[in-house]
Chains A and B, each alone.
Chain A
């Protein structure tokens, strides 16, 4: 849990502490002597950089939040080219962004260890868009890949990844899933190694000239390295639990723990092979394991990658083997112990003492008619105010292009103003395509951090290819959704050093925006006026809607012991129109009862004093409960 005050990742050797998977990865990197750590934050990987950010100075490591994953990867690769051990971390989609540079760096290899930590997010706990399985990149790029199952392994496997990377001069991928990165567990710590901070880049044609004919030599060398890694490491990086030859289980990652739990619950004894390195696969070990088995079930998140390979190996060594996997287990979403138990129920033709389906039916009946509590903008969120203002001016029929960040929550009722959400920066490109192919004019919503990450090319393209777009940059000064990390517009670095902030309005002008307006997100009149003026105006128009993340602001206020004004509804003036609850939908505004008997009030424990409700109330019924002097704020 990243909120832990005491810094457990820096505890002494031999101590047992509870760590989050992501924190354990940082500890592992420290034990391996990492010198440079980089990242672009992306949940479920975010706590890796957040932990580095907290401890880098104390640990003597260089850490940075780069502008995007590609730059983060390149920075780490540059360090490793110069002989400095490095780690870069990202979420699964981040690997798509970085991949253009990852592929060639795997060919050239590195002079010091380079670890690519990638967190997949089956079930989409922290991601919209897709349930991508990053292990396909392992195959695409011949990237040796290891998969820890719990925080202890997160630490140990990170140390191991550094070792393999160093021995074979090849980047190694450490692949987690949400239930590994965000799980906690007892971890026994090893010794921290003094970080290597400085190296030297040495020109080397044999390594860096990746043009033909050297390209083919590098490709050949890469395949050789992987064969050696397969023999020396992959074949040995397994856990084998002996058991009946009627059924075998092959698994990887956190699925191993679900299998162990299911075995215990079902009181069965299958033969188990747990694979720690999922690329290159331990082909010999798998052959030996399945040779005399009658059937085997492969348990892996998410795609049937090992399953397909097991089927291919079985053709050679045991053609009669029945290979199960996605026929018994879900093909979408993440796994849990229940899934494995129900697969065992079918395979062993015996019932677990709890009927999950029946229990679930009963439990679901209890929640059937409950109001949902989907995530929403926090009380006082500048984005809610901007969305409200834009909808007030342009209505619900206008197309609203979505992007990645907290404003993704504008997809939900009552706003429903994220008509498509594709990838970082895609709001602009897709809008451009729509405008070139229709008479419609979408409004582009993009956040500040996303704009720095991937929004600049799209904006330049509007100008270059003559599209009269309206881009609203929602500027809350940080990368908020992933936990308030700084970006080039924030004014401080990942190591908490100050640096001049880049100004979005200046960048917009430089990239060809004809009209740029900076407005205060919390000022309804100002935002509405700008939208009215700029939506139909010819040219590329940019509104920077600026308002500090209220959650961050409130934390600052708490630290400084400063109170913010709380707002109140005057029951004399309130006509119960429901604008504040149904259309503005601030979680601090409560409606109790129905119709004429309904009571509207503001929960003072929740109100964060943004004042927007007072601006949107058509009857002027909302006022600060007590006046706060300007000096108090």
Chain B
């Protein structure tokens, strides 16, 4: 059983990346189950999805407390918010080093935490943390931050955190993503090779 949690901010592509992941797992012959939350959470708020897959039937759609195998976070603060699903024994965390200050930080005068503070907290709840500014990298290379989503998915596979075939992830991208397929595929492949080195 592989328990994955994807988290980020509404509009960052959490849903489309989850769709790619779910579809790839299905193509690999796994039984897939999961939850996507939207509605109110969609409008710029914290949002997360669960994707679970296994060779056997999966029952509950939700990941159990302290049981995530992988947390894929598109924003560092959002990684902290889902730490209840993580544990020192089990969890790998891949976090996009692209912090975005919530408007409520200014409005309610609560400062955004320092990077070191975030990292030390993430380390307490994981066996391994990979930090990489995928949005910055794809912005630089392809002109748009959002290809970073699939780069992060690539990194997770390259690192060996997700046991999915690259071929089927690419197939899933082709079936799922609407625009700029070339750049998305490139970003994914680059992520896989980055993951192998990181």
Contacts and interface: CB of A to CB of B under 8 A. Distances in A.
Interface of A: 1, 3-6, 16-18, 20, 43-44, 46, 125-127, 150, 178-179, 182-186, 254, 257-258, 260-261, 264-265, 336-338, 354, 356, 359-360, 363-364, 366-367, 369-379, 406, 408-409, 412-414, 481-482, 551, 558-559, 578, 581-582, 585-587, 590-592, 594, 603, 605-606
B125 interface: yes
- Which of B19, B64, B77 has the most chain A CB atoms closer than 10 A to its own CB? B64
A359 B87 contact: yes
B62 A179 contact: yes
28 contacts: A1-B36, A3-B176, A6-B175, A18-B32, A43-B38, A44-B39, A46-B39, A125-B39, A183-B35, A185-B34, A185-B61, A186-B31, A257-B60, A258-B59, A258-B60, A337-B62, A354-B87, A359-B84, A366-B80, A367-B81, A376-B44, A376-B104, A581-B103, A582-B106, A585-B106, A587-B102, A592-B101, A594-B111
Contact of A375 (B16, B41, B81, B125): B41
A481 B111 CA distance: 29
Interface residues of B, number: 70
Contact of B61 (A5, A184, A414): A184
Nearest to A256: B59
B198 interface: no
Contact of B77 (A3, A356, A373): A373
Give the top 8 A-B pairs by smallest Cβ distance, nearest first.
Answer: A126-B39, A375-B45, A371-B105, A183-B61, A363-B84, A43-B39, A261-B60, A371-B110
Contacts of A376: 43-45, 103-104
Interface string B127-149: 00000000100010000110000
A585 B107 contact: yes
A126 B43 CA distance: 11
B163 interface: no
B192 interface: no
Nearest to B23: A18
A178 B39 CA distance: 10
A379 B77 CA distance: 20
B17 to A, nearest CB: 10
B176 A4 contact: yes
A425 B112 CA distance: 39
A125 B49 CA distance: 13
B194 interface: no
Contacts of B179: 558-559
A182 B19 CA distance: 13
A468 B30 CA distance: 63
A364 B43 contact: no
Interface string B36-60: 1111111111100001000000111
- Which of A20, A185, A356, A585 has the most chain B CB atoms closer than 10 A to its own CB? A185
A363 B59 contact: no
B193 to A, nearest CB: 25
B43 A590 contact: no
Given A1-B15, A372-B104, A375-B10, A184 B60 contact: no
B15 A3 contact: yes
Contact of A578 (B37, B58, B83, B106): B106
B61 A372 contact: no
Contacts of A592: 101
A372 B110 CA distance: 9
Contacts of B112: 371
Contacts of A126: 38-41
A18 B125 contact: no
Contacts of B43: 375-378, 406, 409, 481
Interface string B65-107: 1100000000001101101101100000000000011111111
A490 B105 CA distance: 36
A591 B99 CA distance: 12
B33 interface: yes
A260 B125 contact: no
Contacts of A16: 26
A44 B35 CA distance: 12
A542 B140 CA distance: 48
Contact of A354 (B58, B66, B107, B113): B66
Contacts of A377: 43-44
Contacts of A559: 179
B190 to A, nearest CB: 19
B52 to A, nearest CB: 10
A372 B102 contact: yes
Contacts of A374: 45, 104
B162 to A, nearest CB: 16
Nearest to A91: B39
Contacts of A366: 80, 83, 121, 124-125
B185 interface: no
B33 A184 contact: yes
A378 B25 CA distance: 32
Given A17-B26, A18-B26, A183 B33 contact: yes
A271 B1 CA distance: 25
Contact of B59 (A264, A369, A370): A264
